[in-house]
Amino acid sequence: MGSTAQEMNTPKRILQVFTILNHGGAEAFIMNHYRKLDRTKVQFDFLVHREDRGEYEDDIERMGGRIFRTCSIRPGHYLKYFRWLNHFFREHRREYAAVHTHIQENGGFVLKYAAKYGIPVRIAHSHCAAVPLDIRYPFRKFALQFLKRNYTALLACGQEAGTSCFGKMPFHLFYNAIDAQQFRSNEHVRNKVRQEFNIPADAPVIGMVARLNFAKNHAFAIRVFNEFLKVQSNAVLMLVGEGDERDKIENQIRDLGIGHHVLLTGLRNDIDQLQQAFDLFILTSWYEGLPVSVIEAQAAGTKCVLADTIDKTVDVTGDIRFLSLNDSLSMWVDTLCNSLPYKKPDNFSKIAQAGYDVNTNIGKLLTFYHVKA
Hey, where are the domains in the chain? 2-177+357-369, 180-353
> Taking a C-beta distance cutoff of 8 angstroms, is the pair 42, 12 a contact?
yes
Q: Do domains 2-177+357-369 and 180-353 have the same CATH topology?
A: yes
CA distances from 340 to 147, 184, 273, 323, 350 (A): 47, 20, 21, 17, 22
> Taking a C-beta distance cutoff of 8 angstroms, is the pair 325, 220 a contact?
yes
pLDDT of residue 25: 84
Sign of CA dihedral 270, 358, 311, 147: positive
Fold classified for 180-353:
Rossmann fold (3.40.50)
Helices (H) and strands (E) in the chain, counts: 15, 13
- Measured CA to CA, the distance from residue 199 to residue 25 in angstroms comes to 27
The segment with the largest mean pLDDT, out of 20-24, 58-62, 360-364, is 58-62
- 2-177+357-369 maps to CATH 2.40.30.30: no
Residue 18 confidence class, pLDDT cut points 50, 70, 90: very high
DSSP label at residue 262: E
What is the value of pTM for the model shown? Answer: 0.82
pLDDT of residue 373: 65
Long-range pairs for 259-264: beta carbons < 8 A, 24 or more residues apart: 261/225, 261/229, 261/235, 261/236, 261/237, 262/222, 262/225, 262/236, 262/237, 262/238, 263/197, 263/236, 263/237, 263/238, 263/239, 264/239
Strands (E), 167-226: 172-173, 205-209
Tell me the three state secondary structure of residue 122.
strand
Task: Calculate mean pLDDT across residues 202-212.
Answer: 97
Tell me the three state secondary structure of residue 190.
helix
DSSP label at residue 345: P
Provide the β-strand partners of residue 43: 13
Q: Has residue 290 got a pLDDT over 90? A: no
